[in-house]
Amino acid sequence: MHYVFQFNVVWDNWRILTDGAVATVEMSVAAFALGLAVAMLCAWLRGFRSFAVRGVVRCYVEIVRNTPLLVQLFIIYFSLPGLGVRMEAEDAAVLGLGLNFGGYATEILRSGVEAVPYSQIEAATALGLSRLRIFRHVILNPAIRICYPAMASQFILILLSSSIVSAISADELTSEVNTLQSTTFRPFEFYFAATAIYLALALAFRFGLDGLFWLAFERGRPRLGQGRSRRRPA
Amino acid sequence: MSRDFSWPEMLFLLGALKWTLALTGVAFLGGGAGGLIVALMRVSPRRANRVAAGCYIALFQSTPLLLQLFLAFYGLAVLLGVQLEAWPAVAFAFSLYAAAFLGDTWRGAIEAIPAEQWEAGTALALHRGRVLRLIVLPQALRIAIPPTVGFLVQLVKNTSVASIVGFVELARAGQLMVNVTFQPMIVYPVVAALYFVICFPLSEAASRLERRLDRRSV
């Protein structure tokens, strides 16, 4: 092995790397917010009696979940201008990531909503609550608790998969690194550094989001399941 | 002079679809073999094995696939001293990636087998390897099938990321056809439809298998 690693050039560009990391996080948060809004809309539409409305939601979910994110981004950024819809690469990236996450989030919300016993909805109806209030108080609140862990995992998946929006030239960490490696001819060092940054971000968010869940839902509860026998013999 | 998107272009896409499936197949076989090792290490009685496999899984689940591909591509070049073709580098990286996810899935399946099964096996004077092979793994296999099929869908879709490092599969072929036809409005939806035709039946099969498993265990 004759290769000499040179990480100095990576340190010299730390400013660009941190800017890229910030852009990645901002893009992921925006996409998460968009996807969550879409998913709530879909979850609400799913309760409709109309076959057509439910069919549209089902189609959206299945198309998003059974085609690659990269191709979805291509369609939004390269195909939509043919219909007169043009946007910046960054906006296309947020839209693509958001709509992609929205499909998965719709399913996550459904599992949360289905976890609410129907008798509770009947009870709320009997108390004269409106459809919207039943949705908000009886279905949504307990659903959030059930959905939170899956949503937190999805956020980290968005963070990681956002690296492929560099393929439509949207500015974030991976595209910054692509530029840096092509001007310095140090691809391995820069991709290594970028991978380390993503790893640090993913672990930090994992830790932070798990901590938040504990603060919001678990703190002060009696600990169940303590002393349960391990499934594996010692 | 640009061409229209018609049969020759469609055949080019279908030819590239073969490479998408080939990469999926190689990654699934390589990842399956690696995943079995990772899963068994994860349930090993030795702490060092469990920690090593856990780190491996966390590392691959907490970094972007695209950067794993870049690192494999340039890292192998650094290690071997020669620039590799895209295909072996990509096949290698996808196998490592699949091993992490399948390993984690299969660990879950093995741990879902009740401790009593292990105890019963031990009571019959079987040693650990035989309990695992004769009693635990056959039952875990049944539980593992639905999520494994589900992961196959992820794998088919994620092979599209290989196009970014220059491997010509379906997504890259779509880009090439857009370059000659200037018809992204037609080409990319067709590419998406081809992925859908592969992935949707697999997704349906996965959820059907899962429902059947739920019914039986109730």
- Summarised one tens digit per residue, pLDDT across range B104-114 is 999 999 999 99
Identify which has the larger pLDDT, B21 or B81: B21
What are B22-38's pLDDT values in tens digits?
Answer: 999 999 999 999 999 99
By C-alpha distance, the chain B residue nearest A79 is B185
Task: Report how many helices (DSSP H) and strands (DSSP E) chain B contains, helices first.
Answer: 9, 0
Residue with tokens 């910046």: A88
Number of domains into which chain A is organized: 1
A195 within a domain of the structure (yes/no): yes
pLDDT higher than 70, residue A231: no
Helix intervals (H) in A47-82? 51-65, 69-74
pLDDT higher than 60, residue A46: yes
By C-alpha distance, the chain B residue nearest A190 is B71
By C-alpha distance, the chain A residue nearest B183 is A79
pLDDT higher than 70, residue A228: no
In angstroms, rounded to a whole number, what is the distance separating the alpha carbons of residues A152 and B47? 28
- Identify the pLDDT of residue A234: 42
Mutual orientation of helices A14-46 and A173-184 as an angle, nearest 10°? 150
Residue A125 pLDDT grade (very low, low, confident, very high; cuts 50, 70, 90): very high
A19 within a domain of the structure (yes/no): yes
Domain ranges in chain B are: 7-217
| Those residues with Cβ within 8 angstroms of residue A60's Cβ, 6 or more apart along the chain or in another chain | A42, A102, A103, A106
Q: What average pLDDT does range A56-68 have in this prediction? A: 97
pLDDT higher than 50, residue A105: yes
**Cβ contacts from A onto B, under 8 A:** 139
Identify which has the larger pLDDT, A47 or B183: B183
A3 within a domain of the structure (yes/no): no
pLDDT higher than 50, residue A229: no
A208 within a domain of the structure (yes/no): yes
Q: What average pLDDT does range B159-177 have in this prediction? A: 95
Long-range pairs for A225-228: beta carbons < 8 A, 24 or more residues apart = none
For chain A, say whether B21 makes contact (Cβ under 8 Å).
no
For chain B, say whether A216 makes contact (Cβ under 8 Å).
no
**Binding-face residues of B in 43-102 toward A, CB within 8 A:** 43, 45, 58-59, 62-68, 70-71, 74-75, 77-79, 81
Q: Quick check: A74 and B188 CB within 8 A?
A: yes
Q: What average pLDDT does range A164-183 have in this prediction? A: 93
In angstroms, rounded to a whole number, what is the distance separating the alpha carbons of residues B207 and B202? 9
CATH number, residue A196: 1.10.3720.10
- Identify the pLDDT of residue B78: 80
Q: Quick check: A195 and B153 CB within 8 A?
A: no
A87 within a domain of the structure (yes/no): yes
Contact A76, A96 (CB under 8 A): yes
A119 within a domain of the structure (yes/no): yes
- Identify the pLDDT of residue B214: 83
pTM: 0.89
Nearest by CB: A191 against B71, B118, B163: B71
Q: What average pLDDT does range A110-133 have in this prediction? A: 88
Residue span of the structural domain in which A168 resides = 9-215
- Residue B173: what residue type? A
Question: What is the complex's ipTM, to 2 decimals?
Answer: 0.93
A234 within a domain of the structure (yes/no): no
A1 within a domain of the structure (yes/no): no
* Protein fold of B7-217: MetI-like fold (1.10.3720)
CA distance B33 to chain A (A): 23
Nearest by CB: B75 against A188, A198, A206: A188
Q: Is the dihedral of CA A8, A12, A13, A17 positive or negative?
A: positive
CA distance B108 to chain A (A): 11
CA distance B90 to chain A (A): 16
pLDDT higher than 50, residue B15: yes
Lowest-confidence segment of A77-91, A105-119, A212-226 by average pLDDT: A212-226
Lowest-confidence segment of A70-74, A95-99, B17-21, B76-80 by average pLDDT: B76-80
Q: Please list every residue in chain B whose beta carbon sits closer than 8 Å to the beta carbon of residue A187.
A: 70, 74
Identify which has the larger pLDDT, B82 or B86: B86
By C-alpha distance, the chain B residue nearest A232 is B115
Q: Please list every residue in chain B whose beta carbon sits closer than 8 Å to the beta carbon of residue A28.
A: none
What are B50-73's pLDDT values in tens digits?
Answer: 999 999 999 999 999 999 999 998
